[in-house]
Amino acid sequence: MRDNANYEGFNPGDNIVKWFWEILESFSKEEVGHFLFFLTGSSRVPYGGFADDKSISLERNYDDYDDMLPIAHTCSYALEIPEYSSKKKMREKIV
């Protein structure tokens, strides 16, 4: 998933992006299924994986509020993420 991710408003080296992948890697199999369902509408990885036209996109939500939740666009596998103040706060909102 990470290898084929696109970023809009973020760079791969930004803390928000690093935190996102660290949080996702710490998820149990069940949590990954819940996250995939939120992002794609299915609890399974799409047929053929996340590649080419099925890559996920992490997009910056410019409303930078710690109380905001991420917004998923299931048709395009896009996730809008505010720039949270900490990894802990981000995990609270993603889980």
Is 75 an active-site residue? yes
How many Å apart are CA 29 and CA 16, to the nearest integer? 22
Catalytic residue selected from 13, 28, 62, 75? 75
Q: Tokens standing for 53?
A: 């036209």
How many Å apart are CA 75 and CA 29, to the nearest integer? 23
Residues marked as catalytic: 75
